[in-house]
Amino acid sequence: MKRQGFTLIELMVVITIISLLTVVTVSQFQTAKKKANDVARKGDINAVSKALQMYFNDYGYFPMESEINWGGTFEDSSASPAYVYMKKMPRENYLPTKPYCYKVSPDQKKYGLFAQLENVTDKECDRNNNNSADDNNYMCDGVGYCYGVASPNTSLSSNGDLE
């Protein structure tokens, strides 16, 4: 009499293969999600940079840190009617301990914008090529960031100073 069905070994092999495929798929999804979040962060920083440049074109200086309301409106409320540079400033939603950071020079002629990227292999975050996010590429308000953008003709030093 011949039995029909699968042996225990066959079932274990199939379950192992399915488990491995699941692990690979989930890890690929997580990596893709981190990369997508980082693309959004870079887009946010570039959009704020353009708004700051419009402000500079109008006034000849950049706004103070206190005038930047992450998640709020970036506007010149002294104008009548108020001139809106950004209807809604972006806000970091995925890394609450690393909010976007804005730093302006004392003469308000230079600025730096900073964000933390999740993808540790991003070339703009892993400057030491060690497959690790270099959280202290830049410092802003005592917090280390790996990604920064500066105003035109300005470079960023590792301590976040504007040069």
Domain hosting residue 87, numbered range: 8-150
Report which residue type is found at 102.
Y
Q: Give how many domains the chain has, as a whole number.
A: 1
Q: For residue range 96-149, what is the model confidence (pLDDT) as tens digits?
A: 888 999 999 999 999 999 999 888 778 877 565 555 555 667 888 888 888 889
If you average pLDDT over residues 77-90, what whole number do you get?
Answer: 87
pTM recorded for the entire structure: 0.79
Q: What is the mean pLDDT of the chain?
A: 86
Report pLDDT digits (tens) over 17-42.
Answer: 999 998 888 888 888 888 999 999 99
Report yes or no on 155 lying in a domain.
no
Is there a domain that residue 110 lies in?
A: yes
CA dist 28 to 50, 96, 133, Å?
33, 24, 18
Asked, for residue 160, whether it belongs to a domain, the answer is: no
Highest mean pLDDT: which range of 66-80, 116-130, 149-163:
66-80
CA–CA separation, 151 vs 110, rounded Å? Answer: 6
In a domain, 135, yes or no: yes
